[in-house]
């Protein structure tokens, strides 16, 4: 299998040595298939977000190794991780994390501000992405005035702007009804066809049931309980 | 280049998002800069003016002291001074102060002599006849008297005397000409009722500067009731007075500075959760720590330069157009000394630089440092909102 990411016994311990020490992730070894859709499922508190954050270089493991495109990133200092995040990953956060007070289009362009790409060409790129996601009418809205589903799409558009290889989405259906959730699945399928690798953390059956994902990793108490391959 | 432009643009749009908060910062900040700059502009201009005046002033003036006060000096003192080795010309001066009740201001009435320096006529000529006068711009303004007009002054016997205005001095030339009414020597004497054979003080020209101390001690020896005043000493006195005045205002400045420090401290001690969250988001979507620092740098620069410039302009207008009217309670002394006086704008670049350095740099630092701490940490927390 051609894998984008491989983990070897990674663990994440919060507040180590303190009375409130928490093992959020315990010795997980998994592989993420390039160009596939992988779903992390499990009950609340089982460590899905923590694992996603480790895979996406948002935090570093307490122990273990993480290989991203053949490179061990587990021990890299934060300043190198930024570069990897920028070039490899697009994030769709559980709480969207859009910046309020600026327009939709600015939010989507934001990841490319610290680059030498001209604003006008960024704008063009954004417009075509918004077109594909069906939100081009909301370009100049400020994000607070969007519905949950629209905010979700803006967040997806922002994750796509730097043309990442891997898209990480945390509970993407949490704010959507079942119709919008189905639409979202279509979006992910389209992205997969374009060659993106997609990793979704969710406990929503609409996502992890019915053969949408190529691979479902079930988590329990910070550990992998079962891996199902379609 | 393109990158820095976009980050700067985003910095500005970020600032505009928190309009009221940033506006408050700018107002406090500008006010502080304005107070500080006003003090410095004011004292600096006074100093330059004073030195201008003094550069035209005689090197050595001899006054007579009687009962501890400045009194008229007998003209025959001149002969004794003239005999001292190293003394050049010895010239008597005739002048006095005049309080004008009508305009509530003070004038200096002075008798003309050929050796006067630093008088620039704006218009007209010097008085030659006992019924004529030339006046300073300040006097001309308060009395609305121009050339050809009349100045009515009440003499020491209570009689109103009319002088024809034949000349007006430029306002810019210096502080002293502003409140000056120049008459002929004889009319000053009769106006103040000075007994004949008396002068107000005596100018002593010393041929060589290094002989000055010797001449002074000789004058004191020969004429124990006199006080020789060196120009250098006057400059020193001016200096201390100026420092004292600016000291008073500096107290006001420190009030403003305290307010500013509280503000800066508030910023330095903690970012709001919103700001921390935003830094996390930017990092998570691929901004480098250096990009975030650049963003914060621009934010700090925009705020502090805006405040600096508006504070500077405010101070300039305040000092040079409104005669530092806000400070006038503290500066009461000046307004009596220099009624209706509009200062000439003298600005020292060095001082402007000092103000720039002590306001912009700490502010920018207080913007960057806390953000830097937030920016070097892992952005993991944004995953959980
Ligand atoms: N920064 C942190 N400090 C301390 N404990 C944390 C931190 N982040 C997560 N945890 C703990 O780690 C465990 C796993 O949390 P995580 O968010 O990964 O679960 P999750 O599966 O994503 O849950 P949910 O479905 O509710 O999002 C939880 O017990 C949580 O309280
Ligand atoms: Mg979660």
Same structural domain for residues B214 and B248?
Answer: no
Interface residue B7 vs chain A (CB under 8 A): yes
Interface contact A110-B285, CB threshold 8 A: yes
Interface contact B13-A106, CB threshold 8 A: yes
| Highest mean pLDDT: which range of A14-28, B93-107, B164-178, B353-367 | A14-28
CA-based nearest residue in chain A for residue B15: A101
pLDDT for the residue A8: 95
Average pLDDT, chain B: 81
pLDDT for the residue B333: 45
Same structural domain for residues B40 and B85?
Answer: no
pLDDT for the residue A79: 82
Work out the minimum CA distance from A221 to partner chain B, whole angstroms: 18
pLDDT for the residue B244: 61
CB within 6 Å of ligand 1 — which residues?
Answer: A 14-15, 22, 24, 42, 44-50, 203; B 384
* A95-117 pLDDT per residue, tens: 889 998 889 999 999 999 999 99
Q: Near ion ligand 2, which residues have CB within 5 Å?
A: A 49
- Residue B107 CA to residue B129 CA, distance in Å, equals 20
**Interface-testing mutation among A25, A73, A82, A156, with chain B (most B C-beta atoms within 10 A):** A82
The more confident residue out of A144 and A210 is: A144
pLDDT surpasses 70 at B372: yes
Q: What is the average pLDDT across B13-30? A: 87
Final residue of a domain: which of B199, B229, B259?
B229
pLDDT for the residue B336: 41
Of the candidates B254, B320, B251, the residue with the CA atom closest to the CA atom of residue B46: B320
- Residue among A12, A24, A175 to mutate when testing ligand 1 (max atoms within 8 A of CB): A24
CA-based nearest residue in chain A for residue B18: A101
Same structural domain for residues B255 and B278?
Answer: yes
Question: What is the extent of the structural domain holding B275?
Answer: 2-53+240-384
- Residue B100 CA to residue B80 CA, distance in Å, equals 37
Final residue of a domain: which of B202, B229, B256?
B229
Q: What is the average pLDDT across B258-266? A: 66
Of the candidates A110, A77, A74, the residue with the CA atom closest to the CA atom of residue B378: A77
* B63-77 pLDDT per residue, tens: 898 888 888 999 889
DSSP string, B180-211: EEEE-HHHHHHHHTPPTTEESEEEEEESSGGG
Same structural domain for residues B306 and B214?
Answer: no
- Residue B381 CA to residue A49 CA, distance in Å, equals 10
The alpha-helical segments, DSSP class H, found in chain A are 48-55, 78-88, 104-109, 119-133, 148-160, 178-193, 205-208
pLDDT tier for residue B34 given thresholds of 50, 70 and 90: confident
pLDDT for the residue A113: 93
* A180-205 pLDDT per residue, tens: 889 889 999 999 999 999 999 998 98
* B167-225 pLDDT per residue, tens: 888 755 455 667 788 899 899 999 999 998 899 999 898 888 888 888 989 999 999 99
Domain count, chain B: 2
Question: What is the extent of the structural domain holding A123?
Answer: 3-229
Interface contact B288-A162, CB threshold 8 A: no
Q: Is B375 a domain residue? A: yes
- Cβ–Cβ < 8 Å for A224, A31: no
Q: Is B193 a domain residue? A: yes
Average pLDDT, chain A: 91
Same structural domain for residues B204 and B344?
Answer: no
Q: Is B235 a domain residue? A: no
Same structural domain for residues B76 and B218?
Answer: yes
- Residue among A17, A43, A44, A50 to mutate when testing ligand 1 (max atoms within 8 A of CB): A50
Same structural domain for residues B208 and B80?
Answer: yes
Token digits of residue B147: 């050339």
Q: Other C-beta atoms within 10 Å of B184: how many? A: 21
Q: Other C-beta atoms within 10 Å of B354: how many? A: 13
pLDDT for the residue B334: 46
Atom of ligand 1 nearest to the CA of B384: 17
Final residue of a domain: which of B187, B202, B229?
B229
Same structural domain for residues B214 and B246?
Answer: no
Q: Other C-beta atoms within 10 Å of B367: how many? A: 23
Interface residue B382 vs chain A (CB under 8 A): yes
Same structural domain for residues B42 and B136?
Answer: no
Q: Is B234 a domain residue? A: no
ipTM associated with this complex: 0.90
Q: Other C-beta atoms within 10 Å of B52: how many? A: 18
Burial class of residue B278 (count of CB atoms within 10 Å of its CB; 0-12, 13-18, 19+): buried
* A113-141 pLDDT per residue, tens: 999 999 899 999 999 999 988 888 888 89
What dihedral do alpha carbons B155, B158, B159, B163 form, nearest 10°? 30
Paired with A67 in beta bridges are A6, A72
Q: What CATH number did the domain enclosing A197 receive?
A: 3.40.50.300
Domain count, chain A: 1
pLDDT surpasses 50 at B337: no
pLDDT for the residue B28: 84
- Residue B44 CA to residue B37 CA, distance in Å, equals 10
């Amino acid at each position: 299998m051609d894998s984008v990411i491989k983990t070897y016994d990674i663990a994440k311990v919060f507040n180590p040595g303190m009375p409130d020490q928490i093992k959020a992730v315990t010795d997980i070894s998994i592989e993420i298939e390039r160009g596939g859709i992988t779903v992390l499922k499990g009950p609340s508190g089982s460590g899905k977000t923590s694992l996603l954050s480790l895979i996406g270089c948002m935090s570093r493991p307490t122990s273990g190794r993480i290989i991203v495109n053949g490179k061990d990133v587990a021990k890299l200092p934060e300043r190198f991780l930024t570069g990897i995040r920028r070039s490899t990953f697009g994030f769709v956060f559980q709480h969207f994390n859009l910046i309020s007070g600026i327009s939709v289009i600015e939010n989507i362009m934001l990841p490319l501000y610290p680059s030498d790409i001209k604003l006008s060409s960024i704008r063009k790129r954004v417009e075509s992405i918004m077109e594909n996601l069906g939100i081009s009418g909301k370009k100049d809205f400020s994000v607070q005035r969007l519905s949950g589903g629209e905010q979700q799409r803006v967040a997806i558009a922002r994750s796509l702007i730097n043309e990442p290889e891997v898209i990480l989405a945390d509970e993407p259906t949490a704010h959507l009804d079942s119709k919008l959730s189905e639409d979202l699945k279509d979006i992910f399928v389209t992205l997969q066809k374009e060659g993106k690798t997609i990793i979704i953390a969710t406990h929503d059956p609409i996502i992890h049931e019915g053969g949408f994902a190529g691979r479902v990793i079930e988590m329990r108490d910070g550990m992998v309980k079962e891996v199902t391959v379609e | 280049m393109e990158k820095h432009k976009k980050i700067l643009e985003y910095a500005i749009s970020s600032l505009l998002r928190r309009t009221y908060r940033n506006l408050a910062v700018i107002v406090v900040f500008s006010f502080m800069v304005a107070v500080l700059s006003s003090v410095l502009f004011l004292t600096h201009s006074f100093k330059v003016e004073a030195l201008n005046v003094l550069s035209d002033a005689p090197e050595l003036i001899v006054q007579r002291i009687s009962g501890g006060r400045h009194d008229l000096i007998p003209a025959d003192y001149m002969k004794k001074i003239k005999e001292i080795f190293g003394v050049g010309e010895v010239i008597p001066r005739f002048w006095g102060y005049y309080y004008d009740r009508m305009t509530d201001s003070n004038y200096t009435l002075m008798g003309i002599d050929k050796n006067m320096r630093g008088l620039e006529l704006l218009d007209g000529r010097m008085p030659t006849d006992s019924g004529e006068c030339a006046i300073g711009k300040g006097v001309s303004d308060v009395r609305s008297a121009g050339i050809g007009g009349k100045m009515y002054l009440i003499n020491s016997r209570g009689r109103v005397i009319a002088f024809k205005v034949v000349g007006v001095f430029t306002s810019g030339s210096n502080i002293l000409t502003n409140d000056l009414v120049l008459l002929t020597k004889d009319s000053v004497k009769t106006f103040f009722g000075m007994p004949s054979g008396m002068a107000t003080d005596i100018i002593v020209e010393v041929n060589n500067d290094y002989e000055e101390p010797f001449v002074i001690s000789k004058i004191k020896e020969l004429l124990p009731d006199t006080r020789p005043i060196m120009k250098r000493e006057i400059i020193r006195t001016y200096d201390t007075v100026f420092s004292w005045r600016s000291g008073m205002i500096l107290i006001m400045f420190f009030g403003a500075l305290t307010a500013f420090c509280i503000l800066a401290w508030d910023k330095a001690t903690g970012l709001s959760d919103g700001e921390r969250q935003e830094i996390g988001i930017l990092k998570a979507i691929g901004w480098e720590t250096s990009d975030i620092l650049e963003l914060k740098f621009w934010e700090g620069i925009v705020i502090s330069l805006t405040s600096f410039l508006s504070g500077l302009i405010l101070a300039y207008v305040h000092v040079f157009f409104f005669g530092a009217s806000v400070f006038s309670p503290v500066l009461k002394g000046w307004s009596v000394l220099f009624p209706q006086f509009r200062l000439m704008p003298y600005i020292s670049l060095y001082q402007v630089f000092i103000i720039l350095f002590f306001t912009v740099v700490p502010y920018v630092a207080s913007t960057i440092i806390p953000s830097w701490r937030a920016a070097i940490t892992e952005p993991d927390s944004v995953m959980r909102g």
